[in-house]
Amino acid sequence: MTTFVLVHGAWHGPWAWDRVIPLLQATGARTLTPDIGAGGDRGLHDDAAVVVAALDTIPTEENVVLVGHSYAGLVVREAADVRSDTVDHVVLVDGWAGAGGASLFSLAPEPFVEAIRHAAKSSGDGRQIPAPPPAAFGIVDSDMARWLGERLVPQALRTFTEPTILTGAVDRIPGTAIYCRPQTYPFEQFGEALGYRTLPLSGPHDVMLTDPEGLSDMLLSSHMYTSDV
């Protein structure tokens, strides 16, 4: 059996995968959706630990595909590095990712970093980043934007500043980088730099909301790719 561990991005929650999960489960796959959206002054390493804990619940005989959307690309690579004996394939969905020591802020362009720091500074104690509007994730349909806007939550600033800690074990795990077109940030290049297979998918950054079928098909093809390597 294949287990897809689906890790949501910043400002989101496990609900981000609600439209994808039934499509994966219909094929006989199992799904886990760890929640890395808990509040407080938490960092990337805290989020990676949540994912590691989820991985530890999976029977050893199962084929594990670890999927990270956006910010969670960094999280799943750190978690996979810790549990390289458990994870069979890593999939980034419009995912931020890099070598050991990379953080989202080290990968992002300076205007993005400045805007995020300003938003955090102008909100509360400066340790939380308020959620941007749904349009920032490419969601423009009014009903879907309303649905998404009601669910987005603040993000801890430290999740964007903490650098990943990698031993290199994750680089021995096959990977796929799915990038949405038109691109907002160089997600294809992030995947290429890691030696991952890169696959385009037309849609916005939150493509799991707008095209769950297309994304599910790609995730399932990653499972088949894993089985062949």
pLDDT, tens only, 41-65:
899 999 999 999 999 999 999 999 9
Q: Residue 79: CB partners within 8 Å, gap ≥ 6?
A: 48, 49, 51, 52, 55, 66, 87
Yes or no: domain 2-228 corresponds to CATH 3.40.50.1820: yes
Q: Provide the pLDDT for residue 224.
A: 65
pLDDT, tens only, 77-110:
999 999 999 999 999 999 999 999 999 999 999 9
Q: Provide the pLDDT for residue 227.
A: 44
Residue ranges in the chain modelled with pLDDT below 70: 39, 124, 223-229
The answer to whether 71 and 160 have CB atoms below 8 angstroms apart is: yes
* Distance (Å, whole) CA 226 – CA 222: 6
The answer to whether 92 and 196 have CB atoms below 8 angstroms apart is: yes
Q: Provide the pLDDT for residue 23.
A: 98
Q: Provide the pLDDT for residue 225.
A: 56
* Distance (Å, whole) CA 216 – CA 222: 10
Q: How much is the pTM?
A: 0.96
3 state DSSP class of 130 = coil
Q: Provide the pLDDT for residue 37.
A: 84
Percent of the chain with pLDDT over 90: 91
Q: Provide the pLDDT for residue 41.
A: 83
Nearest to 131 by CA among 11, 7, 9: 11
